[in-house]
Amino acid sequence: MQVQPYLFFNGRCEEAAEFYRRALGAEVAMLMRWKDCPEPQQPGMVPPGSENKVMHMRFRIGDTEILASDGQCAGQPSFQGFALSLTAANEAEAERFFRALSDGGQVRMPLAKTFFSPSFGMVADRFGVSWMVLVEG
């Protein structure tokens, strides 16, 4: 069994994939646009002007695959009730990832030593996705 996160970026999926490529070394493994769907879409399924938006994407960050889409392109993405946990190899790598994810985002807890990690912090990136960056202690 496998559980994978599926993120809906409401029209900003390609922008997010490029951001994660620069910030974390993400690699897009598969991308399908609404216009490339092999089956006709039901009326109202694809907002007018969104034919070039991402219907489905799969990208990798390290050993993890994340699924994503532009969804209904309804505006600003909203990510609540979860966080993605990113384990760095060492404190320097944690700092680099944290700084990159913070660019245009919001630091919720600066990187600091905790009882469970030599370096742990929380940040919401520019898309609102929450991240917990840590080094295993």
Domain ranges of the chain: 6-69, 84-135
**Check whether domain 84-135 has CATH 3.30.110.30, yes or no:** no
Q: Find where tokens 């910030």 sit.
A: 23
Confidence label for 127 from pLDDT (cuts 50, 70 and 90): very high
pLDDT, tens digit, 9 for 90 and up, residues 100-117: 999 999 999 999 999 999
Q: Measured between alpha carbons, how far is residue 19 from residues 3, 14, 40, 42 in Å?
A: 23, 9, 31, 32
pTM listed for this prediction: 0.92
For the 6-69 domain, the top CATH level (class) is alpha beta
6-69 and 84-135: identical CATH topology? yes
